Every structure is written in C-alpha cells, then in structure tokens.
Structure 1
Amino acid sequence: MSTTAFSADFFWQEGAWRIGDAPLAVAGRRFDVATGAAERAGRFVLPGMPNLHSHAFQRAMAGLAERRGPGEDSFWTWRETMYAFAEAIDPDDLKAIATQLYVEMVKAGYTQVCEFHYLHHGPRGVPYADPAAMSLALIEAAKEAGIGLTLLPVLYMTGGFDGRPLTERQQRFRHDVGGFVSLLERLAPMQDDMFTLGIALHSLRAVPEDAMRALLATGIARGLPVHIHIAEQIGEVQDCLAVRGARPVEWLLDHADVDPRWTLVHATHLTAHETDRLAKSGAVAGLCPTTEANLGDGLFPLAAFIDAGGTFGIGSDSHISVSPVEELRWLEYGQRLLTRHRNVAARRPEESVGTALWQRALHGGARAAGVDVGRLSPGARADLLVLDDRSPLLAAREEADVLDSFLFAGNTPLVRDVMVGGQWRVRDFAHAAETSAAQAYRVVVERLAAA
C-alpha cells in the first residue's frame, strides 16, 4: 500500500488550528503517520463534514412546494406534495437524483452522508423483483460521487400514533419487522470503508412500541447506528400526548435504551427537562436548520442543550440547501433571532462561534454516521477539505478568524479541494463526475415534470 504525505500551513486537529510542521499522511483510505517528502495541499486543511440526515429523492422537488395552497400551509400540506412526487420515482431515477445530490454534497464539503431511506417499493407498495433495488441505487450513487454512505433503511408501519393503516401514497414505505430484517441482512455483507449500515425508525407515529422493541432485540440491529424523526412538529407532540400520555422525546427516553448510537432527528420541541435528559443520554441531536425553516418546524433549544453537555450534528434533509456553511450559519442565526443576542453557540468568553459550530458538528456527525471520520488523525478515514486561500474572503485572516470567515463572510464557495477515503474527488472546485451526473439528473427531472 502506497503512502502519500501532504503539508499545509495549518491543519484542523483536536478542535483547533495546528501549525502544519508535521505532514499528514494517507495510506490507502486512512490517515497514517507521515514520513518522507510531502506534497503541499494548501494553507488551511479541515476534516470533511458528515451530513447526518438526507432524503436524497427530495432534491429533485426542491423549489416545487413554495406556492401557497387554499389554506394555511404547513409541514403536513408539504408532505402531501412530497408523497405525490415520490410516487413516480423508480430505482434508475433515484440513482440519477442521488448521484447529482451527492456530487453537490462533496463539492460543498460533506464527505459522509447518512441516508434516511424509506422509498423502498414500487408504486402502491408493489415490491421490486429485488427488494433491495432502491437501496442498491443509493449505494451505487454514493460510489459514483465518491462520498461515504451510512445507509439507514427505514421501518415504516403505521400512519399515526393510533395505529391507523398507511395511506395508498405511503405503501411504498411499508415493511413489517421480518421483511425489514431481511433487507438489513441482504445489505450487511456489502459494508466496507465507504459503506456503513444503520437502521432508522421513521417516527414514533409510524413504528408501534412492540415493533420497535422486536427490531432492536434482533442480532443484526445490535451495535448499529439508530436514527429516528422525533418532535419535529407541534401536532406530533400533541398526538403523542393524547395517545401515549407523554411527549415524544420523553416517551422514547422512558421506553428505549437511548445512548450514543442513537440520533434523534429534529427534536425541535423539547421541554427543559427533555433537553437535559437528551443531552445526558449521549444521543446526537440531528439538526437540519434550512429544512426546519423551510417547513416552519421551529427552533431547537441550542444554548441549553450545549450547556447540558449535548452533542449535535447537521443534515441537509430535504436539500433545499446543500451546504454545511448554510446549515451552521442558520443554526446560529435562528438562535440570534429567537434570543435577540449574538454569538449564541459560543458558550465561553472569547470562544469563536465558527470554531464551536464546526467542531461540534464534526463530532456529532461522525457519531451519528457510525464511522471514524471528522478528524485529521492516524487511523481515521482520510477525508479532508482544502480552503481556497486565494479567495478575497480569506484575505488578511489569521488562523483564529478563518472558520468564522468561512461560515459568516458570504456565499462565495471556499471549499477548493476535497479528498474522501484517500482519493481526491474535487480539485480546484471541479468534481470529475459533475458533468455526467448533471446530464443524467436533467433527463430524469424533465421526464418527471412531464409525467
């Protein structure tokens, strides 16, 4: 196995810029100890950011749900638009859409994606000849784009807390526990340095308690990352209280062994007690600020969660934006609008907001993905970003100001080069697959628009 060493003026290591007097080596797909001559990578080198929540097919409908309906629009009216769009997508379509999305992610600085995948079957729930066809389309898309994939097949069984059956539009998502375990068993042997398997419970309203317990007790589920949508909407909280007698996060913490392998996606509507309990559980809060804003979800209690020792990461969810910069920027800006104070994510005097957000999201995203990424250290997968030190946005910036300028100085892309798993995927802002991916994507969305 050949080893290549890279030098830089500064490497982001252990939550701070370190003077790059010791080169960074890559052996195969992982970082190693450097020896010998080094190739210069750039001035500022960061770990790649994990994207902990994605519904890839929704990238193709971004911008198509922004026209007002006859009444008050909400998450629930948006959901009907999404269901109608999802009905037409087949495995080839999904591969083309996901490849385009994943290329965009890599160019933006995401090097790992957690794909919360519930579009399993054909229209009206008719299984494909290969029940894993849609999962395999996502795996192939990730390979083409060169992004690490944590695939999270979703268990989806009921249409509400009261156990109502799924609607016709939801039949494509349906599994019983046995069929779901069979899918996991089909996918598990395919895992490698770039593909990791996890499991997702769609939500408490979609997975009955006995099914949740049965799945988590299976051998294949043991040790895998577990993700769940939870407490995203006030209506969900009210329904959970009415049927289960507790708020969603409260109920989950009381009825499951929630620990650091869990990611609670959104967790928007929390009491102070739930916030403290969630933080102390070690679970990751999966925050998706641009989607949460687009859907009118609400704002997560970030300051209280950080102060309680909580761990969070970021995701692009419905992909109305594909940028870790924008997710982190709006995570902070939402808190400023809510509290009417500045620099909310920085909890200590003199702490940099950019530093606090980036490092916390690296740590939480890596935990949610179940992969050793997010750090420039021997043994970790060799994912890195090189910032464009030629950009005027970084002019006259010392290292202490670089992350704040990266996140808060404008919208000009600053991720110049991207390595994923020891291979350069983006060089001088260009991805080798971007032209072919865009062409295939265009064909698919034009056909879907005409259908």
Structure 2
Amino acid sequence: MKVFARRAALESGWASDVRLTVAQGRIAGIDTGVAPQSGDIRVDTLLPALSNLHSHSFQRAMAGMTEYRQKGRENFWTWRALMYRFLDHLTPEQIRAIASLAFMEMQLTGFAAVGEFHYLHHAAGGTAYDDPAELSARIMQAAQETGIGLTHLPVLYTYGDVGERPLNGGQLRFGHTLDAFSRLVARCNDMIRDMPADTQVGIAPHSLRATSPADLAEVVARHPDGPVHMHIAEQRKEVEDVSAVLGARPVEWLLEHHSVGPRWCLIHATHMTEGETDRLAQTGAVVGLCPVTEANLGDGVFNGRSFLDAGGRFGVGTDSNINISVSEELRMMEYAQRLFHQQRNVLATENGSTGQGLYLAAARGGAQALSRDCGALADGNWADLLAIDSTAPALCALRDEQILDGFVFAGDRRLITDVWCAGRHQVQAGRHVAQDQILSQYRAAMTGLMAKLD
C-alpha cells in the first residue's frame, strides 16, 4: 500500500509531497519531494496517529447520565455509585457492543490504538464465567470488529478500598486473587494469538486502594515484562486515605517501594507535591492524563508545567469516554493550565508551537505507555496514521508549523479524513468502514440495558 500526502509531519519536521510505503502493517519507506503515482491513496496532511492510553470502554454508555446535582453529594464518589448500579445489568454482548462503539469513535477522532484498562471480569454479583476471560474476549472482539490497535490491560482489583476492605456491590464483578489474576493474564496472552500482530497484553494493578502492598509487589514480580498501568492520586480523598493507612502520599509511597520506570504508566497523578512531580519525571514513566474525564469528575489540575519542565513524559486517554476526541483532550489539558496559572501557552516549549508540542509529545508518550512501535512517522513503526484536511476553514489560513495548533485549538473530528491502525484503513473519507453495523448493534444493546435500569 502507498499513501501520498501533500505534507506530512515527519520526525525531522514538516515535509512536502511525501509518499509512504506500508507493508505488513508497518511503515516500510518514506520518500519526500516526489510525485504521486497511480494507485496511491492520496491525502492532504499526514500525521502520526495518537494512542489512547487509558479507556474504560463500558463507561461510554453512561455518558450524560450523571450530569445532575444532589445537594451535598456531588463528587467523584457519587458518580462511582451510579457506575456500580450500571454494572448490575451489563451483559457480555452489551459490553462488546459498547466497546465497539467507543473504539470506533476513538478512530473517528484520531486515535489508532487503545489501552483498555479492563476491570470488568465477572457476572453480576461476582459469579465467575465458565471462561475466566469471557469479558476480555468481548473486548478483543470489539477491537477486531473496529480494527483498532489494542493493548489489553486486565486489572487486578482485590479490595474494596485502602486498608484491604472487602469488595462489595458492583465491585464484586472486578475481584481476583493473585493466582486467579495470573491465570486470566495467561489466558489473554493465549487469545491474542488469533488477533492482529500489533495486539498486546499488559497488567493493571488498579490502585493503592484496590490492592495491598504485598499483592502489588507480587503481581509486578510475576509479570516482569510489558506495560504496567495504575491509577494514582486522582482524588484528594484518595490521597488522604492512603496517607492515613500506608503512612505516605500515594506517589511518594509508590516511588519509595517500587522501581518505577519506563514500562509504567501512572494514570491521573493529579495531586502531587513539587518533590513528587520532579521524582516521577526522573523515572521515565509516562503519566496518563485524561483531561476531559478529570474535568468532568472535578478531580483537579495536574501539575503540568513543573512535570514537563522536569522532563516528564505524558500521553492522553479518554478514561470514562464521556466525550471521545483527540483534539479535545489536548485542548483541555492546555486550557486547564491556562486557567490555573492565568497565562497563555503554558505547556509550550520555549519559542514553540503549543499544539504541535502537545500533539507530538502525546504521540510519543502514548506509544511508550502501550509498548507500541508508533508515535512517529518513521521506518519500521506500525502504520498508525492520521490524515486531516488543511483546506477546511479551521486550517486553510495556517502555515505548516501552525497546522497542529489549528487542529488542537480550533478543530474537531470534521477535519479528519482517514485513519490507519497498523496499516488497516479503518476511517475513509471521514467515515468508519463498519460504522452502520456498529451503530445498529449499540442502539440495540442500549435499548435492552435501559429497559433494566428504568
């Protein structure tokens, strides 16, 4: 397959008249300053597509259901209570249909791969399925149906809260012992043999709330390779509870007790001291930021400027999937910093484009977090490609170095014409190749689910 672009954002900078060769899902050659040839797929502006490093796909079906106020109760924890009620009714087939919709929407808005932080393992009440990976299999089916690149992250969730409190209510669908979790991961690794070659499996010890210190040490030791993802320091209450039980703040405790490094991705890390921020940046781990969800839940503002000044790496995820959008995640990330610091272009490199800096850094960070060969248009990388139309009104007056500013701050999915996921051309002319089928299945699943919730 050959893709010809009028311009492309290469590792060396912007180039004109670029022709990419794609073979076996990977970029196998890049020529610049050439003419298109017969049979080439022609696009306007070609970018490395981002990886969505943090998703709970089933929560896509809850979008818009929690935007009301209860006096004295409106916070993350009341949102979580509704999520647990929601879990009482979800079936495996509904989970697959919802995941397919979420994955399709990710592609339509510019993501070529996803890290699915998957903690839904059992039937309602905690009853085990005959196949312990029944619901992981549904996530993989959704990835195959949509063609998105998948790093599957089964979650170890053993306790109901910090201090090894028992699971209760909706949490019973999440629970695993260490041995059961290891069997689940092994089963997932078996299943990906039938998946596309870019599919991977990592692990996700949920948080310091849902694991014990001993279990966290053991699960990391049992799985010495591949990505390790973990929620940390998202909410002030979490920081207070962990400090009270473990004697240290969450990030502080983790850095003292584990060799956190480049295979780790710490999700949110919203509430850190300056010292924690600097220390985390030095580890080479990726911080997984989900600015739209963090804003929706009222989490707080990440210490972004200090983290980037210290050389920290980040990527973005869609978490609760309330509004799936590459541009919106990056825009919210910068705008939160502007509101907090009361300045403009807070996260820009010195004398650099804010949008371009954010986009390309998120591409690199997301690739690292998912242990995926992507994040740049370079020989040997997976062909995770995003094409946008620079003749659209939001971009037509911009110079090359301003194109990503336009996409991030003035753009949306209407600018996107094509997306390839490891060479799979899933979005064409702004439409997903399986869009009608996926929408029909989702609507049927939601009709059945809402009949039970009402």
TM-score range (shorter-chain normalised) is: over 0.9
State how far apart, in whole Å, the 1-side matches of 2:307 and 2:171 are: 34
| TM value normalised by structure 2 | 0.95
CA RMSD of aligned residues (A): 1.4
Structure 1 window deviating more from structure 2 (89-98 vs 411-420): it is 411-420
Tell me the secondary structure at the aligned position of residue 444 of structure 2: helix
User: For residue 121 of structure 2, what is the aligned residue in structure 1?
Assistant: 120
Tell me the secondary structure at the aligned position of residue 363 of structure 1: helix
| Matched letter for residue 346 of structure 1 | A
Match runs of 1:36-185 below 5 Å: 37=37, 39-185=40-186
Residue ranges of structure 1 left out of the alignment (5+ in a row): none
State how far apart, in whole Å, the 1-side matches of 2:133 and 2:41 are: 43
State how far apart, in whole Å, the 2-side matches of 1:194 and 1:138 are: 15
Q: Rate the CA distance shift 1:33–1:439 in 2: closer, same or farther, 3 A.
A: same
The answer (yes or no) to whether the contact 1:112–1:148 under 8 Å persists in 2 is yes
Tell me the secondary structure at the aligned position of residue 392 of structure 1: coil
Give 1:424 shift.
Answer: 1.2
Q: Percent identity?
A: 46
State how far apart, in whole Å, the 1-side matches of 2:187 and 2:95 are: 19
Structure 1 window deviating more from structure 2 (69-78 vs 327-336): it is 69-78
Q: Show CA shifts across 1:116-137 (max 9, x none).
A: 0001000110001111010000
Give 1:401 shift.
Answer: 1.0
The answer (yes or no) to whether the contact 2:84–2:169 under 8 Å persists in 1 is no
| Matched letter for residue 345 of structure 1 | L
| Matched letter for residue 337 of structure 1 | L
| TM value normalised by structure 1 | 0.96
The answer (yes or no) to whether the contact 2:325–2:413 under 8 Å persists in 1 is no
User: For residue 270 of structure 1, what is the aligned residue in structure 2?
Assistant: 272
State how far apart, in whole Å, the 2-side matches of 1:372 and 1:394 are: 29
Structure 1 window deviating more from structure 2 (331-340 vs 396-405): it is 396-405
| Matched letter for residue 98 of structure 2 | I
Give 1:304 shift.
Answer: 0.4
Return the match for 2:286 from 269, 284, 289. Answer: 284
User: For residue 33 of structure 1, what is the aligned residue in structure 2?
Assistant: 29
Structure 1 window deviating more from structure 2 (139-148 vs 185-194): it is 185-194
User: For residue 213 of structure 1, what is the aligned residue in structure 2?
Assistant: 217
| Matched letter for residue 198 of structure 2 | M
Asked if 1:339 corresponds to 2:341, the answer is yes
State how far apart, in whole Å, the 2-side matches of 1:235 and 1:135 are: 31
User: For residue 385 of structure 2, what is the aligned residue in structure 1?
Assistant: 384
User: For residue 363 of structure 1, what is the aligned residue in structure 2?
Assistant: 364
Count of residues in correspondence between the two structures: 444
Q: Show CA shifts across 1:371-426 (max 9, x none).
A: 10122111111111111133111212221110001111244621111111212111
| Matched letter for residue 246 of structure 2 | R
State how far apart, in whole Å, the 2-side matches of 1:90 and 1:16 are: 47
Q: Show CA shifts across 1:337-382 (max 9, x none).
A: 0000000111302x00011100110011001111101221111111
The answer (yes or no) to whether the contact 2:163–2:212 under 8 Å persists in 1 is no
Tell me the secondary structure at the aligned position of residue 59 of structure 1: helix
User: For residue 11 of structure 2, what is the aligned residue in structure 1?
Assistant: 14
| Matched letter for residue 181 of structure 2 | F
Tell me the secondary structure at the aligned position of residue 130 of structure 1: coil
State how far apart, in whole Å, the 2-side matches of 1:50 and 1:281 are: 21
Tell me the secondary structure at the aligned position of residue 249 of structure 1: helix
State how far apart, in whole Å, the 2-side matches of 1:411 and 1:135 are: 31
| Matched letter for residue 373 of structure 1 | C
| Matched letter for residue 66 of structure 1 | E
Structure 1 window deviating more from structure 2 (276-285 vs 4-13): it is 4-13
Q: Show CA shifts across 1:98-121 (max 9, x none).
A: 001111111111000000000100
The answer (yes or no) to whether the contact 1:5–1:34 under 8 Å persists in 2 is no
Return the match for 2:198 from 194, 202, 205. Answer: 194
Tell me the secondary structure at the aligned position of residue 128 of structure 2: coil
State how far apart, in whole Å, the 1-side matches of 2:73 and 2:159 are: 26
Structure 1 window deviating more from structure 2 (255-264 vs 8-17): it is 8-17
Tell me the secondary structure at the aligned position of residue 138 of structure 2: helix
The answer (yes or no) to whether the contact 1:41–1:386 under 8 Å persists in 2 is no
Tell me the secondary structure at the aligned position of residue 42 of structure 1: strand
The answer (yes or no) to whether the contact 2:47–2:387 under 8 Å persists in 1 is yes
State how far apart, in whole Å, the 2-side matches of 1:423 and 1:412 are: 19
Asked if 1:398 corresponds to 2:399, the answer is yes
Give 1:281 shift.
Answer: 0.5
State how far apart, in whole Å, the 2-side matches of 1:404 and 1:444 are: 38
Give 1:6 shift.
Answer: 2.1
